[in-house]
Amino acid sequence: MTKTQVAPSLLAADFTRLGEAVDMVNRSEASYIHIDVMDGVFVPNITIGFPIIKSISTIASKPLDVHMMVVDPGRFVGMVRDCGAEFMNVHAEACTHLSSVVESIRRAGMRPAVTLNPATPVGMLQDIITQVDMVLLMSVNPGFGGQSFISTTLEKVVRLRELIRETGSGALIEVDGGVNLQTAPALVDAGADILVAGSYVFNAADPARAVAELAKLTPRV
Ligand code: DX5
Ligand code: ZN
């Protein structure tokens, strides 16, 4: 049985102690560090940019999962690569030529991932699913941490799992938004591989333990 992978989202960390937050993730059972880039246009918020991601990459021992909540993310493939990202996550809604962007991420030596907002149907990935290494399903409308989980995401995970099976794609399924110990078990049952968690991890008294609790979840058959 494959273990659930956890990607703590630094958005919920104390930014005055970012280094300590990265250290915590390094020492925890997390598989990735999730970094949220926002441009104030695609989403109504602005967060971290490339200089900060570069600094994080110098002390991170876990691979970076960079979630680009920006208009036309294809403009930034080179800059994300220069930050040492493993996954570059682009929103399907933000790309006019999604297939070209995915290919340019791959050519840059990163693993391409496509993100879908809650209102975007899984079916739109039909003709691109075999080109991507990961699909990130948003379980909140992107822009802010600490929002409530949208439960219809569970059916989307099931539909995505089915699409992956039908097409023989190797894509991993990641879910982001409102993930905690209450919402995570059903996501894992539905077929999620990677759970992004911000507030649940960083607001916990023992963040590394919160990561471990998510990581030990396995599908209840
Ligand atoms: C929201 C971001 C998330 C956010 C999740 O737009 O993409 O990664 O940090 O935060 P929580 O886990 O608090 O919902
Ligand atoms: Zn995110």
DSSP symbols for 194-214: EEEESHHHHTSSSHHHHHHHH
Question: Which atom of ligand 1 lies at the shortest distance from residue 38's CA?
Answer: 6
CA–CA separation, 203 vs 205, rounded Å?
7
Q: At 170, phi and psi to the nearest 5?
A: -100, 15
Which of ligand 1's atoms lies nearest the C-alpha of 198? 12
Query: For residues 88 and 67, is the Cβ–Cβ distance under 8 A?
Result: no
Pocket test for ligand 1, best of 196, 203, 211, 214 (most atoms within 8 A of CB): 196
Q: Show the 3-state SS of 37-79.
A: EEECCCCCCECCCHHHHHHHHHHCCCCEEEEEECCCHHHHHHH
pLDDT given for residue 1 in this prediction? 58
Active-site amino acid positions: 36, 176
Helix runs in the chain, H state only: 18-27, 50-59, 77-82, 98-107, 153-167, 184-190, 199-202, 207-215
Ligand 1 center to 6 CA (angstroms): 13
| 29 Cα: distance to centroid of ligand 2 (angstroms) | 19
* d(CA 146, ligand 1 centre) in Å: 7
Largest CA distance in the chain: 46
Pocket-forming residues, ligand 1, beta carbon under 6 Å: 9, 11-12, 34, 36, 67, 140, 142-143, 145-147, 176-179, 196-200
- What is the number of the ligand 1 atom nearest to the C-alpha of 34? 8
Residue from 147, 149, 187, 202 to probe ligand 1 pocket by mutation (most atoms less than 8 Å from CB): 147
Q: What's the pLDDT score for residue 156?
A: 98
Per-residue pLDDT of the chain (221 residues; tens, 9 = 90+): 578 999 999 999 999 999 999 999 999 999 999 999 999 999 999 999 999 999 999 999 999 999 999 999 999 999 999 999 999 999 999 999 999 999 999 999 999 999 999 999 999 999 999 999 999 999 999 999 999 999 999 999 999 999 999 999 999 999 999 999 999 999 999 999 999 999 999 999 999 999 999 999 999 97
How close is the Cα of 197 to the center of ligand 1, in Å? 7
1, 189 contact by CB (below 8 A): no
Closest ligand 1 atom to residue 67 Cα is 7
150 is written with which tokens? 């949208």
